[in-house]
Structure 1
Amino acid sequence: MDNIIVGLGEALWDCLPEGRKLGGAPANFAFHAAQFGFNACAVSAVGNDALGDETLKAFDAKGLNYIMPRVDYPTGTVSVELDAEGVPTYDIKQQVAWDNIPFTPEIEEAARHCQAVCFGSLAQRSPVSHHTIARFLDATPSTCLKIFDINLRQRFYSKEVIKEGLKRCDILKINDEELVTIGRMFGYPGLDMENKCWLILGKYNLKMLVLTCGTNGSYVFTAGQLSIQETPKVAVADTVGAGDSFTGAFAAATLSGMPVNQAHELAVKVSAYVCTQNGAMPALPRELTEQVKCHK
């Protein structure tokens, strides 16, 4: 349990046109961080049902560590439809297991040995999981790197949850559409994209702000520095989980001591590769994963 990287929140099945794929942003994040040689763990909950059994077997098959209490709610599913460019839209089922993650002694122990945690707003749509995520963050060491991947979906977010996450995190991960929403919500819609990011970085005393803009590139804002990377042109199978792979790679590279611009470049390459594969958890090529393992 020492020095673990935790993906905390939803674990679910993406029901894609070609079939069911294991997913959920925190689980995707943990899976990709693990591929870079880190001790990563997905923390969520699954139901006392056949799909819950299937979830745990799938994590076992992928070699991903997990803490997944069984609860009396159905295992989470999401209906995913893809447009002509492979971009997904989601129908996220409610009152499911990951809405009801209990704060167990095992989860508390994971928090106390956590070197980095990625959490979002989606799993905080319910009081039970919101409370568990808050208690987890409170139990982490002061050195723990906290990454808030906002992940706005449907109407499952609130200003209060987002503000709390911004205050708790070291790194904010957000996309261009979410930035527009946050700008309206917090009352600064007139600023351009970059100035919104600089404002949020300073206002909440963040170490970094990561902005992804799909095919229009990505940005990493740190105090006095801006890293910009173009998005590679690839043959897209689907974009499900691409952002989570970006975050997992960026976190792994950052924790290994890689400079921001190099970590950013690697995260872009990883995300682009995941877009060429079906589903959120493909195995990454060694030429990508070895860059972090050799740097550590």
Structure 2
Amino acid sequence: MKDKKNKVVCFGEVLWDIFPGEQKRVGGAPFNVAYHLSRMGVDVNMISSVGNDQLGRDLLQKIKSWNIPTDYIQINVGYPTSTVIASVDENNDAHYDIVENVAWDFIDITPENHEILNTTDAFVFGTLAARSEKTKNTLFELLEVGAYNVFDINLREPYYETSMIKDLLHKTHLAKFNKAELRMMLDFLGKEYTSEEDGIKFLQENFDLHEIIISKGSKGALYADKHDFYRYPTIPVTIKDTVGSGDSFLAGFLSKRLEKGSSVHETMIQAVSLGAFITSQEGACPEYSFEDFNRFKNQYQLSALD
């Protein structure tokens, strides 16, 4: 494992995914990002909440076993630890029944939250955490502190409103979409989809977005800053499941993006490679080391697409 350098805080849901016929798995999109950032050697913390129950204790113990700090995961005595009933369809795509009124719907703002964000390189959040008034208010307060706010759109019906997403985008420096979410966002805004480039430019201009990344599954990925577009192919792998693949893609991207001196090419190779590596394994947070990932990545020589 390389030395930990950069610091990232992920905000929102930590939970147990309950898959049919299996034991429960730790999940939640922002936690998945935190898990993979930790595996990439990034110093990561999670702001969330679990219940004062056995599921919560089990969850904290599991997270600690991965050497991820739990200092900023609150314990809520009034609401239970989150569980999600998950299923995987014939296309290996995951679907989720997300129980409401759980601990992470009620994340408190604390002086410690402010303090850690003052020394953090990136603040990662998604849409789902803003489904409740309490956690949404906490999130918006923390966005005023974050120096580099990273919005993983991650739409989960029916837990989002267009006005809320627009408000979040106005506080965002880097936004990540998958290809379906890009089209949905443009539709919400009354913008006809003509091309990725046109859609991305529209979002950049309307929300002053410095950076946008699009994960496109088998079609690869795209990164856009204020000046250029960069397209990269995917790595062909045998898909075990797609649970958490977008989260690992984002973690791979950030792990290089935050490294001083890293190029766009190195950053996108890291993102595409980690996304493919996790898709070839089972679950959102499989056990692996940085060395395991590097061996996988070094098998491939990816070049940018024209």
Distance apart, 1:261 and its partner CA: 2.2
Corresponding position of 1:256: 259
Q: Which runs of 5+ in 2 are unaligned?
A: 298-306
Alignment map for 1:32-71 (pairs within 5 Å): 32-66=36-70, 67-71=72-76
Alignment RMSD, CA only? 1.7
| Partner of residue 103 from structure 2, selected from 88, 97, 101 | 97
Counterpart-to-counterpart distance in 2, 1:235 and 1:129: 38
Corresponding position of 2:200: 197
Q: Which runs of 5+ in 1 are unaligned?
A: 292-296
Q: Specify the code of the residue in structure 2 equivalent to 1:193.
A: E
| Partner of residue 218 from structure 2, selected from 209, 215, 219 | 215
Question: Retained in 1: the 8 A contact 2:13–2:48?
Answer: yes
Counterpart-to-counterpart distance in 1, 2:17 and 2:244: 10
Distance apart, 1:268 and its partner CA: 0.6
Alignment map for 1:221-260 (pairs within 5 Å): 221-257=224-260, 258-260=262-264
Distance apart, 1:194 and its partner CA: 2.5
Corresponding position of 1:27: 31
2:170 is paired with a residue of what secondary structure?
A: helix
Distance apart, 1:198 and its partner CA: 1.7
TM-score, length-scaled by structure 1: 0.92
| Partner of residue 75 from structure 1, selected from 81, 91, 96 | 81
Q: Specify the code of the residue in structure 2 equivalent to 1:162.
A: I
Counterpart-to-counterpart distance in 1, 2:48 and 2:145: 16
Percentage identity across paired residues of the two chains: 32
Question: Retained in 1: the 8 A contact 2:131–2:160?
Answer: yes
| Partner of residue 178 from structure 2, selected from 154, 175, 199 | 175
Of the structure 1 ranges 115-124 and 27-36, higher mean CA displacement relative to structure 2 is found in: 27-36
2:169 is paired with a residue of what secondary structure?
A: helix
* Higher percent of residues as helix: 1
Q: Specify the code of the residue in structure 1 equivalent to 2:162.
A: K
1:277 is paired with a residue of what secondary structure?
A: coil
Distance apart, 1:108 and its partner CA: 2.3
Corresponding position of 1:8: 11
Distance apart, 1:122 and its partner CA: 0.5
Distance apart, 1:190 and its partner CA: 3.9
Counterpart-to-counterpart distance in 2, 1:289 and 1:222: 27
Matched, 1:279 2:280: no
Corresponding position of 1:294: none
1:119-174 per-residue CA deviation (whole Å, 9 max, x = no partner) reads: 1111000000001111112123xxx2210001100111111211111111110000
Corresponding position of 1:128: 134
- Aligned residue-pair number: 287
TM-score, length-scaled by structure 2: 0.89
